[in-house]
Amino acid sequence: MKPTRAALIVAATALTPALLLATPAFATTPAATPAATPTPVTAPYGTVAPETPVDEMSDDDLRVAVLRILGGKDVGVGVTREANAALNGTPDDLRAFLKTGYRLAQAEDDRVALFTILGRKDTGRGVKEAISKLVGDGTPEELRAFLETGYRLARFEDDRVAVFTILGRKDTGPRVKEEINKLLNNNGSPEEFRAFHETGYRLARAEDDRVAIGKILAKPNISKALRKAAEKALADGTPEALRHFLEVGQYEVDGK
Domain ranges of the chain: 5-122, 169-252
Torsion sign (Cα): 45, 49, 51, 54 = negative
Q: What is the pLDDT of residues 6-34, one digit of tens each?
A: 443 334 443 443 333 333 333 333 333 44
At 40, the amino acid letter reads P
CA distances from 103 to 77, 95, 100, 223, 253 (A): 13, 12, 5, 68, 61
The SS3 of residue 221 is coil
Q: What is the pLDDT of residues 206-242, one digit of tens each?
A: 999 999 999 999 998 899 999 999 999 999 989 999 9
Task: For helices 59-70 and 77-87, give the axis angle rounded to 10 degrees.
Answer: 160
CA distances from 25 to 29, 125, 162, 189 (A): 6, 27, 30, 28
Task: Enter the pTM of the model.
Answer: 0.68
User: Residue 221 region, left (φ>0) first, then alpha (ψ -120 to 50), else beta?
Assistant: left
